[in-house]
Every structure is written in structure tokens, then in C-alpha cells.
Amino acid sequence: MENVGVCDEFVNLKATELRLGLPGTEDGGEAEKQKISCGRSNKRALPETEKDIESTGKTETASPPKAQIVGWPPVRSYRKNNIQTKKNESEGQGMYVKVSMDGAPYLRKIDLTVYKQYSELMKSLENMFKFSVGEYFEREGYKGSDFVPTYEDKDGDWMLVGDVPWEMFVSSCKRLRIMKGSEAKGLGCSV
């Protein structure tokens, strides 16, 4: 069965979807040894529908990072930090920022440090909120979608995601907001 190019993690973010395994497919065994990953391709992931059925097999490829969820699994940080041989790994605190989307009645928190570039971040957001962001053009902003990803920086200004180099973005981003509609157009078209 073909891998529809989405990763197990993105499925997990859907609230109600049932996932069916292949007959005889084991989540154990080989899957254990493979990192959960996306089938990488250049095409943008399409917004998921409720009826999507995909394989639970995890493909062995370079894995884009999963969106880290605060406080999950529910292990106290004292325990996490003190398990033998983990002490020397500086796990880092992560940089959690809130993400809201116009019209969505919930917020999410994501750890920016697990991503290495904008495309990874955008994929994760698209799957988290089930939308498509269009393509980014340096001068014109995002085209092809009503949604525009923006962020609030340290100075309190709302900027378009993608305008500044990635590292600068990570260090200055305070929160993310996926704007929709006319407000978005205004920002999306600015240089």
C-alpha cells in the first residue's frame, strides 16, 4: 500500500481520526527500529480529510522532527533529568511558542528548536491546523491561499514568516498566528 506521504505524527494531531493498520501489519517489530518520519517529497501535504486512511507503517527516511508537546508523555521533569546516562545530554529547554489560527477555537504550542528550516515548520503547522499555506515568494509573500503565517517578534511587531533568515526567526519569534482573509492579504503582500 502506498505511503501517502504523511507521517504518523501528523495523524496523531488529528482529533478524531481512526487509523487502520494493514492486515497483519505490526506496529511493533520493525517499526520500533524506525524513527517516525514523513515520506519526504517536495509536494506540499494536502489538508487531511476525515476519511483518510493511511498506513501505519513508518518509513525509514531522514525524519523531520515531530512537534514536541509540552508535558507529554507525563513524566515529571525531575525524573526525565535524572535517569541514568541521560544526565550528560543537555536536552535543552526548547523554545515553545503558541500558535493560533484565525477561526480555530484552540491554541497549540510548538517547540521551534526541533525544526531546522521554514519548510519543516510550515509542514508541521499545515498538518496541525489542517490548512494549506500557499507558496512563499520573496517579494509577494504567500500566494495561493487565504492563510498567511505570521509571527510576533521581540519588538511586538507582526511579521510574515519567512522574511528573515531562519536563525533570526527562531531567536526573535514570540508567538505565531495564522491569519486568514483580508487581514492576511495586507500583510502577505507587503515586502
Q: Could you tell me if 175 and 109 are in contact, meaning their C-beta atoms sit under 8 angstroms apart?
A: no
Taking residue 22's Cβ as centre, other Cβ atoms within 10 Å add up to 10
CA-based nearest residue to 175, from 143, 142, 153, 149? 153
Q: How far is the CB of 19 from other proteins (least distance, A)?
A: 6
Size of the site for other proteins (CB under 8 A): 47
Task: Show the binding pattern over residues 141-180: x = contacts other proteins (CB under 8 A), - = does not.
Answer: ------------------------------------x---
User: 39: which strand partners?
Assistant: none
Q: Which stretch binds other proteins (CB under 8 A): 43-51, 73-81, 112-120, 139-147?
A: 73-81
Q: Where are the alpha helices (DSSP H) in 104-177?
A: 118-129, 166-172
Residues that bind other proteins (CB under 8 A): 8-9, 11-21, 26-28, 32-33, 35-36, 56, 66, 69-80, 82-85, 98, 100, 102, 105-109, 177
